[in-house]
Structure 1
């Protein structure tokens, strides 16, 4: 009997303990809920209730700070950077002429030069090319406006032609090797002695070359290189010729003596069918028992067809000297 009473009493004690624990949990849960509700009430999500109000003096100081900051900005530098960025972006958008169109324009220029008299001077050559350029520009502009013309260029090529012959004319003429020397004319007086020959080399920058240099414009002679022009630069064709003559005088017994000089007067460099990039002021000193021409005056059409990068006119200046 005592044993049964103990079992019944144990069951009551277990229920009482469970009830107490549940009550404690309920109390704790209510406390947590109350804490959360209090936090939401004290710090609501509405920004309107937490907006900080600045005083008039604070607002005035902030406006002054903004004015000082704006005044200290390098506006001129920013505008310059914007203009440069626009310029570079527009230059990057320039489309290079297609090879077939470039060849077409080069042939037309060459045909225009060939139509001149054999004795045409530099001024006449330049005027002929300029007349062709203006005429071709008019044709291209009319094609852009939709007019039908008997032209050598197609309507879809007109825009590229206008750009090449107007805004990019200097770059285009340099690229095709159109180098027409400036003819120096002295209108005030002529102090050249009667009977003395005129030397076309006077149109080159620098001092006048003496007769023993035998200078030839738009000419490239072949020969064994004594001085490589890639690392041997001279300020003028005169200096290049003098270097050749000086080497021949100072050559030791058994050494090759320079009897050919080849100079690049073009500021954009000179074309050559090798792997090197030939720059302005290159001076090549060469030797050959029987000097032979590489190129003279103009590159042939067949050669330019085989070498698309070749310009129309030979850019080099050469001479065979007597040693």
Structure 2
């Protein structure tokens, strides 16, 4: 007989029974919440709104949550004392006190959801420096020399390609402005069979500018170029694959350029 009882217990779906019992408890809890009269729910809602209006609107979510929780505790204390006949000065009836005690006690979480009480969790944003170690920032400092006019279409940290109409190794200018003007002047003075400058490339770096060719490009080099359809050699940063193939290349493109209309 004992073996038979033990065998039946072993065959019982224990996990399934636990799940069913849990669902029953949840349904019973929901039923309790639903049994709270609408006028009590409305009273709670109104008092919470009054409490929140008394808090500075600029306060964060934590302060708002604390204000509501403080109100709930005071109201629950008042209802509990009335139920246990510890006070006679309450403005609520004994029946209402019992309903409030149930609503503000064990059923508070469910009731909060039912009346739509939701205070967002405060989110703290922390700024992180995700720049890889050793990575240089793009430098957008004021360009030396006269202010470049719009017609120069200046682009910093940019290197355009094209056929050289003036060799930069022997053509230096004091500033990017002077380099751009030299390009515009060459285009105006070029003969019918000569290529007209429509791309200027200038080296503003005092330490020189990198290029994949065999030359050492120095400060103030001014290259005047022509390209039917100007194309970028490099923009902003040299790609990692390029730097792997050219170990001496910097991260940031040092040249500045412009494509002009002629």
Question: When the two structures are superposed, what TM-score results if normalisation uses the length of structure 2?
Answer: 0.49
**Whose RCO is larger (CA < 8 A, sep 6+)?**
2
Question: When the two structures are superposed, what TM-score results if normalisation uses the length of structure 1?
Answer: 0.40
| Bigger Rg, which one | 1
